[in-house]
Amino acid sequence: MEVYRQGKAARLGAFLDVIALANTDALREAMNMYARLKLEKVFEETGLTAKWEAKGRAEGKAESKVEIAQNLVNMGLPIETVVSATQLEPEKIKALYSG
């Protein structure tokens, strides 16, 4: 009865407390999703998302070149051919021949 005498704001607060206590897992999940979405928005607005995606693409291309070079080395192709095909540094390709 005390909550009812304190007014509408107190009743609403008590109601929200009961909901929060009854649904702590759902509330925690909603808060985490909100924080994650807010963080993602900050990353997008500052350009970090695009920068990280570009870096990932570049790293993927570099890994692909090394895999292709390794395949060419395994086929017994000369180092000049592998350098020409992959545009990798000769030192990196020499390491593939010795490895």
pLDDT digits (tens, 9 = 90+) for 30-46: 888 888 888 888 888 88
Domain of 75?
57-99
Structure tokens, 24? 């702590």
CA pair distance 88, 12, nearest whole angstrom: 66
From the CB of residue 69, how many other CB atoms can be counted at a distance below 10 Å?
A: 23
More confident residue, 94 or 4: 94
CA pair distance 33, 96, nearest whole angstrom: 45
Does residue 51 lie in a domain region? no
Per-residue pLDDT tens digits for 64-80 = 999 999 999 999 999 99
Residues 97 and 74 in one domain: yes
Number of domains in the chain: 2
CA pair distance 58, 80, nearest whole angstrom: 24
Query: What is the reported pTM?
Result: 0.48
CB 28 within 8 A of CB 50: no
